[in-house]
Amino acid sequence: MILTVTLNAAIDTTYRTDRFAPSDTNRVDLVSRQAGGKGVNVARLLHAWGQPVIATGLAGGAAGRWIAADLADRGVDVRFAAVAGESRTTTVVVDASGEATTVSERGPVVSPEEWAAFRALHRDLVGQAALVVLSGSLPRGVPATAYAQLVADARQEGVGAIVDADGPALRAALEQRPYVVKPNADELRRVTGIDDPLAAASVIGTSYGVNVVASLGARGLLLWTADAVVQASGSPLTGNPTGAGDAVVAALAAGTVRGDTLADCLRDAVALSAAAVLQDTAGTVDMDDVRRLRPGVTLTHLAAAGRAS
């Protein structure tokens, strides 16, 4: 079983329109709503792939109850911890060109007692897991060291972690040496101050002894390990890129629990990510698209990497 953690779960509302114009009236052609947050998206994708998964995290108020019910209705095993504050809503506007504009509420304020209660729940659940996925933003009140604490809890149970985070949350998590971190190019730059993704991934990998899978947008994925550097790419597609990174994480998690190497996971990761772009909402794919796109993924071995310390 894979455990996904979403500390700032949301109701994701997606608007589809032919043209989005700021400071003007915009007519919406399609509206969809579903449970969201990066870890929730990963859980939904894993479930669609037939991988046993439990979705946990923090959820509060009527919105939190709606999020849990929506996931349960889709067949996902949900074990959220309740908080007093109201969970957030995230609104994404996607135009005909595939450009996406996101307006994201900040979410509830979490008390120290609520955070302690969630950590107790996490310790219980992670002991049942083969892998834990920690992804997304942190709500107010949750410490910047939250993911570092959860990685450490997982390690005590002999469970590896994949972390998809940004800024101080990612920097703190690196200190606990998760199995994989999955930043995008901007997140790599913010953590290292280095513009070149390969150089930035190498610095993180060698400094912390972790594996790095970096999302490079239309250029695909970059894998840095202690043994190799591999770039994986497919044909660029137009659509909604909102959940593409979550699809990468889902593929990495599913492959890891199957016993695949990270390099072996890259074809599925690129194909699943591309299939997600074709969908109107994040965290959904058509598996026929995945099977169609997978043979077109190209793996390029860029260099031998120095062994991580």
- CB contact at 8 A, 71 and 42: no
Query: What was the pLDDT predicted at 241?
Result: 65
Indicate the residue type of 294. R
180-181 vs 160-164, strand pairing mode:
parallel
Answer yes or no: is 86 within a domain.
yes
**Given 246, 264, 268, 289, the catalytic residue:** 246
Answer yes or no: is 154 within a domain.
yes
Query: What was the pLDDT predicted at 237?
Result: 62
Answer yes or no: is 308 within a domain.
no
pLDDT of the chain, 309 residues: tens digit per residue: 999 999 999 999 988 888 888 888 888 888 889 999 999 999 999 998 899 999 999 999 999 999 999 999 999 999 999 999 999 999 888 888 777 788 888 999 999 999 999 999 999 999 999 999 999 999 999 999 999 999 999 999 999 999 999 999 999 999 999 999 999 999 999 999 999 999 999 999 999 999 999 998 878 899 999 988 999 888 666 666 667 889 999 999 999 999 999 998 998 898 888 877 766 666 677 777 778 877 888 888 886 544 333
Could you confirm whether 246 is annotated as catalytic?
yes
Query: What was the pLDDT predicted at 238?
Result: 60
Answer yes or no: is 309 within a domain.
no
Q: What is the CATH number of the domain that holds 220?
A: 3.40.1190.20
Answer yes or no: is 25 within a domain.
no
Question: Helices 167-174 & 146-156, crossing angle to 10 degrees?
Answer: 30
Residues 6+ apart with CB under 8 A from 95: 17, 18, 19, 20
Answer yes or no: is 185 within a domain.
yes
**CA angle, corner 113, sides to 10 and 176, nearest 5?**
75
- What are the tokens at 34? 């579903």
Domain of 295 in residue numbering reads as: 2-20+30-303
Q: What's the structural domain count of the chain?
A: 1
Indicate the residue type of 201. A
Cα separation values, 123 from 68, 155, 157, Å? 20, 10, 8
Query: What was the pLDDT predicted at 280?
Result: 65
